[in-house]
Amino acid sequence: MGSGRRRLGAAFLFAIFLALVALGIDQYRRRISVPPLATEADILALDADQPSLLRFAGNPAILVLVFNDLALQGEMLNRIAALVEKRGLPRERVLAPEEIARAIAANGATPSTWYYGHDYSLADMRRFFGLAEHAAGGLTVGERRLAALLDRAGAFKADVAGALITLPRAGLDPLLDAAGRTTILRHELSHGEFFTNPAFAQHTMRFWREGLDAVERAAFTGFLVREDYDPDNEALLANEMQAYLMHTADPRFFNAEAVGLPQVVLADLRARFRTGMPPGWLRDAVDRPRRRRPQRGTVSSSNACPDRLRPALSAASSEARRSRK
């Protein structure tokens, strides 16, 4: 009889243990919500009515945040852009609200149109939030909302490698038509691949240093400086080079005139870059033939600066725009 009671007691305790484990797992799942997988077609088709976080099916380490509002995207991410990559802005601290407003105005943009697509490594995102929490005024309401989204997805764990990119919903701006959004998404996804695929990053850096000659590298550097990228960040320049050269099909955002190189040179560079690309979804995407798009004007009438995708300006037209300010 005594041994039976002991067995019943042990079984009861084991049942309690299992219940507690199940409760802990349930609470963990509630706290960590893995975003659903989505293809490029799925992402482009999403008609979001609120910021929606997805994982890219081709590389689940890339988080994709689809926005329903350009102003909200700017509120959530413009100060991160300033910290990580914008030319002439501090790298060791987060700008105060009045400072970011001046920087955007000096760029000829608005908070809504400074960037159309963002892309950052999760390590840079964690660094931003660490700095901003201790900056004067702390995080904005939008930044706190972004932090909650990322925390729920498990992105704040120090050992999690990944990237975040963004895409606005269709129709928020004339540039956000089907061709523009398709280009923005592929451009930003290629950045995500650079942040999360060491083989692709190594190929890109090698091509920047050895695949381009001095004239070609100077042409890309000049183009990127005109777009206000930090010229002292070699990895940033190389990453932008590959995204513009290989993954920016819409000529409103990138073209031979804007970079100051003949079309035949760009075609040769694309062929040589493709040759060394590691296998994977991005190489497969490059190998698929592009549908020919109608040629449009190289300079948009919009003042938008869609991140890595502001309307492409030649050196001459860029200088003319600055002189009109």
The per-residue DSSP string of 131-164 comes to HHHTSTT---HHHHHHHHHHHHTTTTSTT---EE
Examine residue 31 and state whether it is found in any structural domain, yes or no.
no
Tokens standing for 144? 């706190």
**What pLDDT score was predicted for residue 48?**
85
Q: Is residue 20 part of a domain?
A: no
Q: Which residues of 102-126 are buried (b: 16+ CB within 10 A; e: fewer)?
A: ebbeebbbbbbbbbbbbbbbbebbb
pTM: 0.82
Query: Phi/psi at 321 (nearest 5 deg)?
Result: -65, -40
Structural domains in the chain (count): 1
Number of neighbours of residue 214 by Cβ within 10 angstroms: 7
Neighbours of 7 (CB within 10 A): 10
| Residue 137 in domain | yes
- Closest Cα to residue 160, out of 168, 169, 150? 150
DSSP 200-253: HHHHHHHIIIIIS-HHHHHHHHHHHHHTTB-TT-HHHHHHHHHHHHHH---TTT
Domain annotation covers residue 27? no
Alpha-carbon gap, residue 48 to 284, rounded angstroms: 28
CA-closest candidate to residue 120, choices 129, 133, 108: 129
Residue 153: alpha-carbon gap to chain centroid: 17
Q: How far apart are CA 96 and CA 107, in angstroms?
A: 17
Residue 45, phi then psi, degrees to nearest 5: -85, -15
Domain interval for residue 271: 37-324
For residue 26, CA distances in Å to 19, 81, 147, 318 come to 10, 36, 22, 55
SS3 261: coil
pLDDT of residue 234: 98
Strand 163-168 to strand 119-121: parallel, antiparallel, or no bridges (unpaired)?
Answer: antiparallel
> How confident is the model at residue 295, as a pLDDT?
43
Q: Classify residue 12: in a domain, yes or no.
A: no
Q: Is residue 229 in some structural domain?
A: yes
Q: Is residue 18 included in any domain, yes or no?
A: no
For residue 18, the model assigns a pLDDT of 54
Report the Cα 126 to chain-centroid distance in Å: 15
d(CA 109, CA 111): 7
Phi/psi region, residue 168 (left: phi>0; alpha: psi -120 to 50; beta: rest), is beta
How far apart, in whole angstroms, are the C-alpha atoms of residue 303 and residue 271?
33
User: pLDDT (tens digit, 0 to 9) for every residue of the chain, 325 residues total?
Assistant: 556 666 656 656 555 655 554 544 444 444 568 999 999 999 999 998 999 999 999 999 999 999 999 999 999 999 999 999 999 999 999 999 999 999 999 989 999 999 999 999 999 999 999 999 888 789 999 999 999 999 999 999 888 899 999 999 999 999 999 999 999 999 999 999 999 999 999 999 999 999 999 999 999 999 999 999 999 999 999 999 999 999 999 999 999 999 999 999 999 999 999 999 999 999 999 998 665 444 444 333 333 333 445 555 444 444 433 333 3
274 part of a folded domain: yes
**In the prediction, which pLDDT does 25 show?**
44
